[in-house]
Amino acid sequence: MIKYTISIILLTLAACILQQFMPAIGALYGARVLIFPLVFLCIAVTVEIPSMLGLAFLCGFLWDAQHTLGPLGGDPEIYPTPPESLHFGYSIILYGLMGFLMQGIQPLFRDGKWHLSAILSGIAILLYLLIEYLLINFVRGNFSIPAGALYRIYLTSALTMLFSPLVFWLLGHISDFCNHTIQYQGLQRRSKYLAT
């Protein structure tokens, strides 16, 4: 278990570094592959809730430390000193919510239906990007959502989802290397209570 935990933390850090070199695809409205959040989502379905929450904190912290969210904005009467970006730490909460979304289908993943987890990873990225965009609009004080931004959010989610089978394959090999069995304990506990 400790070898697997160390391995997934190292994989997360490697994805964080790799994310810096992932270019935007200009022909697709500036969409890009979000490897770092994808690795978190794929790991979230393979670990238990405490490990997922710890990883959500780490990933959210690193994500916020790396990114600024655009230029100043907002009505000067409402925001006399407009914020430069969203407050540090908002990504930790969003990563935690995405992780709980993935935890919800963990029994299906354990039954070998990883393709549903792959689809849900795309949906989770879509929700993350939409919530982040709405928060930025709220901070700026206007709610304009141009079609280009929606296309970018959708295409980024779809492109990222295409890479999820590769990440699940890699996690399978890491768990084999570490002699770790990816299990879901929640069903066993529930069935034990139902049997008594």
Q: pLDDT tens digits for 76-126?
A: 444 444 444 566 778 889 899 989 988 887 777 777 777 788 888 889 999
Between CA 101 and CA 93 the distance in angstroms is 12
What pLDDT sits at residue 71? 44
**At which residue do the structure tokens 């730490």 appear?**
89
Phi, psi dihedrals of residue 44, rounded to the nearest 5°: -60, -30
Q: Is the pLDDT of residue 191 over 50?
A: no
Q: Does domain 2-195 have CATH number 1.10.1760?
A: yes
What pLDDT sits at residue 115? 77
Q: Are 55 and 47 in contact (CB under 8 A)?
A: yes
| Portion of the chain with pLDDT greater than 70, in percent | 81
What pLDDT sits at residue 67? 67
Tell me the mean pLDDT in the region 66-72.
Answer: 53
What pLDDT sits at residue 86? 65
Tell me the mean pLDDT in the region 13-17.
Answer: 92
Say how many CA atoms lie within 13 Å of 160 toward its Cβ.
Answer: 34
Terminal-residue alpha carbon distance, the chain: 30
Between CA 57 and CA 94 the distance in angstroms is 10
- Tell me the pLDDT tens digit for each residue of 24-42: 787 777 788 889 999 999 8
What pLDDT sits at residue 77? 46
Between CA 128 and CA 60 the distance in angstroms is 12
What pLDDT sits at residue 166? 92
pTM attached to this predicted model: 0.78
- The mean predicted confidence, pLDDT, of the chain is 79
Q: 24: which 2 tokens?
A: 């935007």
What pLDDT sits at residue 78? 41
